[in-house]
Each structure stands twice: as structure tokens, then as C-alpha cells.
């Protein structure tokens, strides 16, 4: 089906179609891994066309029918066109499906053997219910504004707090978008990488406010599994093109207050970024595992990969990421950082108060 659609709507070459064949074979695994609908869209005369689609198992698919062969419109799916036009991954942009559902899209460009972008890989998450709640929160919060943002009691006060988290999340996502646009203005890959790393840092903090807005019952705590899973989804989009590197989450699920969740999220983002950028040099496949082990007095988080390893004492040059990790664990979490690395991979762990 993919080849038939591409031959009808695109000018892709035979070797480029072969690349997409291999990617299409991985779509079902991607859909299961992320619990979301996954697509391959290809450039066509009218913009983009849906060339392949894989659904997650169970009832988690956003779609009731097939949209393969249908056009993707710029006004409805900005993430797809931004990823294609800018040649960079795009995260957390709202879109409207061909069936009229509201979704959140992550999109990454797919490069062909000749060095040009031949498609966009897309992950979609249904946010129709989130939008409904968001409108309810905004409407009810506004009804209490006359007596101050936290006035009243019961549902009104809770909704006002949710609205604060919602606005902080939106502002952080705006900052991330500005940084992402700025990165596209530089040809220097090192400058672009630095800005993109800062995008990931900002979005890791925005993730906490998103969870507190929509996925937390008491507005003060974030479940560690929910947080780690969302960070995994965010970081999976940064896997270099042509590499099959999986990020998995396991271990215990514990509640984290916002003051703890923020530095934990920042440290995890740094460690995952470092693993994806450096752990698998010269390799096409790899595995990164994030786990939490709960303790009575302290919890321990571990990020382990099966990459090439490195010698921490021999590292030279700028190490902003490691500096951020060390300072955050020491100063914000009152914890200890441990690094073990050899030819079988790298294992980094840190602890914090329970």
C-alpha cells in the first residue's frame, strides 16, 4: 500500500521507497511502544499524503477508519509541515485529524539515502478530553477571578490552581518554541545542538505542569511512572535518524511533590539526552532503561544503556549537561550521583529523599 500511494502521489525514487519499506515494518512496534497512532506522511503535489499508519492494540487508537492515502493539510497538522520544512523534530503541537479529532503530534523528518527528506514520522496522542477539561477549567476559574485567583473553596479553588499550572505550561511551551525557531537560524551544528538541548530542558519542566493540570488528582504531586513515561515519549523523538534506540521505563511508582519532580525531571532529561547523543556512536540499535527503586528514606533513579561506554575521568571539553546533573542532584535533591561505564554500557544513578 505504501509503495502504491507513493508512486501515485510522490516523486520518490526506488531506493527511497526501500528505506520507507523498512520504516513501515517498524510502525506496529512503535505504536505498541508509545501506545499511540504512528504514521508515515510523504510529500506530494498537494502538500503531504498519509502513506502508512499503525494503531496501538486495544481501544487506544484515535481513528475509527483508515486515513491512508488521504491528504494531510498544513492548517490542520502544523507539526508535520514544520518538521519537513525545518528538517528538525517537532514536539507537542496540536493538530486536527482527518476525522476531526484533536490530537497532540510529535513529528520527525525521515532522511533518504541521497540525503534529502523523503517523509515525516508522526506520533499522535488524543487530547480531545484534555481540551474539554481545559475549557471547563478556564470557564470556572474565570468565574472566581472577582475574589482573587485562589479565593473560594472546593472545586472553584482547585480549578484556579489547575488554571495556574495550565498557564505556566503554556508559557514554558512558548519559550521552547522560541528557542526551537532560533535554533533553525544557525548553520553551526554546535549552536543548534545547544539550543535544542535547552528546548528539551524547558519541555521537561512543562511536562510537570501538564501532568498537574490534567493527570493528577491532588494538584500537588506527580506520579513518578506518569512523569517518566511522558519524558520517555518526549525524548524518543530525539533518537537520531536511521537508529533503532528504544527507551523503556520500569520500577516502582511513587508520588513526587512538584519541588522534587522538577529537578528529577531535569536530571533525567540531561541523562537521556546524553545517552541518545553519545552512547551509541557507530551502532544502529540500542536500549536505554529508566527505573526507580523506592526506599524507606530515599528513592533511587537509574538510567542504564547498553552503548559503547566512556571513561568519565578522561572526558574533556565543555560538559554542561554533566555539570547540570551534578549540581542539581547535589543542591536540589540533596542526593548522590554515581556513574559506572565500560564496554557493555553506562549506568548512572542518583537518589533523593522519599
Each residue of 243-270: pLDDT tens digit? 889 999 999 999 998 889 888 988 998 8
Give the list of residues 6+ apart from residue 124 with CB closer than 8 angstroms, or none. Answer: 36, 37, 38, 39, 62, 95, 97, 103, 104, 105
55 lies in the same domain as 139: no
230 lies in the same domain as 343: yes
Q: Of 126, 145, 174, which residue sits at a domain end?
A: 126
346 lies in the same domain as 242: yes
7 lies in the same domain as 35: yes
118 lies in the same domain as 246: no
**H helical segments located in the chain:** 2-9, 14-34, 78-86, 128-142, 155-183, 189-214, 224-236, 258-278, 320-327
pLDDT value, residue 216: 60
Overall number of domains in the chain: 3
Cell numbers 541521497 correspond to 114
214 lies in the same domain as 228: no
235 lies in the same domain as 196: no
Q: What SS3 class is residue 141?
A: helix
Specify burial of residue 315 (Cβ count, 10 A radius: 0-12, 13-18, 19+): exposed
Task: Report whether 232 contacts 33 (CB < 8 A).
Answer: no
Q: Of 187, 219, 251, which residue sits at a domain end?
A: 219
The secondary structure of residue 343, as a DSSP letter, is: T
144 lies in the same domain as 99: no
Task: Report whether 252 contacts 227 (CB < 8 A).
Answer: no
pLDDT value, residue 318: 44
Residue 322, domain extent: 222-354
Domain CATH for 231:
3.30.565.10
Q: Give dist(CA 30, CA 73) in Å, integer.
A: 24
Q: Of 171, 200, 219, which residue sits at a domain end?
A: 219
269 lies in the same domain as 199: no
pLDDT value, residue 217: 62
Alpha-carbon distances, residue 284 vs 44, 50, 122, 273, 287 (angstroms): 29, 26, 20, 17, 11
pLDDT value, residue 313: 53
pLDDT value, residue 184: 78
Domain CATH for 111:
3.30.450.280
pLDDT value, residue 257: 87
* CA terminus-to-terminus distance, the chain: 52
240 lies in the same domain as 200: no
299 lies in the same domain as 199: no
178 lies in the same domain as 190: yes
pLDDT per residue of the chain (354 residues) written in tens, 0 to 9: 899 999 999 999 999 999 999 999 999 999 988 888 999 999 998 789 999 999 988 667 889 899 999 999 989 998 899 889 888 888 778 888 998 888 888 899 999 999 899 999 999 988 766 656 555 555 555 554 444 444 444 555 566 666 776 777 777 777 777 777 877 788 887 787 778 777 777 877 777 777 776 666 666 788 899 889 888 887 876 777 778 899 999 999 999 988 898 889 889 988 998 898 888 988 889 999 999 999 888 999 999 999 988 765 555 444 557 888 999 999 989 999 999 988 889 999 999 988
Amino acid at each position: 500500500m505504501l509503495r502504491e500511494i507513493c508512486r501515485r502521489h510522490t516523486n520518490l525514487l526506488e531506493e527511497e521507497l526501500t528505506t520507507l519499506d523498512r520504516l513501515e515494518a517498524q510502525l506496529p512496534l512503535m505504536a505498541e511502544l508509545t501506545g499511540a497512532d504512528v504514521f508515515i506522511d510523504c510529500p506530494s503535489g498537494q502538500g503531504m499524503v498519509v502513506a502508512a499508519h499503525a494503531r496501538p492494540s486495544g481501544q487506544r487508537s484515535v481513528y475509527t477508519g483508515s486515513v491512508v492515502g488521504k491528504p494531510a493539510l498544513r492548517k490542520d497538522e502544523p507539526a508535520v509541515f514544520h518538521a519537513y520544512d525545518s528538517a528538525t523534530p517537532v514536539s507537542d503541537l496540536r493538530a486536527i485529524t482527518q476525522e476531526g479529532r484533536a490530537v497532540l503530534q510529535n513529528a520527525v523528518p525521515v532522511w533518504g539515502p541521497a540525503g534529502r527528506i523523503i517523509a515525516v514520522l508522526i506520533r499522535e496522542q488524543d487530547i480531545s478530553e484534555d481540551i474539554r477539561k481545559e475549557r471547563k477549567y478556564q470557564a470556572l476559574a474565570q468565574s472566581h477571578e472577582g475574589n482573587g485567583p485562589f479565593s473560594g473553596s472546593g472545586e472553584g479553588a482547585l480549578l484556579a490552581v489547575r488554571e495556574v499550572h495550565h498557564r505556566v505550561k503554556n508559557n514554558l511551551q512558548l519559550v521552547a518554541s522560541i528557542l526551537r525557531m532560533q535554533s533553525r537560524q544557525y548553520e553551526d551544528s554546535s549552536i543548534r545542538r545547544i539550543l535544542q538541548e535547552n528546548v528539551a530542558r524547558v519541555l521537561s519542566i512543562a511536562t510537570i505542569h501538564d501532568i498537574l493540570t490534567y493527570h493528577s488528582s491532588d494538584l500537588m504531586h506527580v506520579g513518578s511512572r506518569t512523569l517518566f513515561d511522558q519524558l520517555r515519549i518526549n525524548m524518543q523523538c530525539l533518537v537520531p535518524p536511521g537508529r533503532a534506540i528504544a527507551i523503556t521505563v520500569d520500577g516502582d511508582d511513587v508520588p513526587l511533590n512538584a519541588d522534587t519532580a522538577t529537578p528529577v525531571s531535569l536530571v533525567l532529561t540531561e541523562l537521556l539526552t546524553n545517552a541518545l547523543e553519545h552512547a551509541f556512536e557507530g551502532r544502529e540499535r540500542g536500549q536505554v532503561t529508566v527505573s526507580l527503586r523506592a526506599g524507606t528514606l530515599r528513592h533511587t533513579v537509574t538510567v542504564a544503556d547498553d552503548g559503547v561506554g566512556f571513561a568519565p575521568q578522561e572526558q574533556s571539553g565543555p560538559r554542561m549537561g554533566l555539570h547540570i546533573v551534578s549540581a542539581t542532584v547535589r543542591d536540589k535533591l540533596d542526593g548522590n550521583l554515581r556513574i559506572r561505564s565500560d564496554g557493555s554500557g553506562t549506568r548512572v544513578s542518583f537518589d533523593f529523599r522519599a
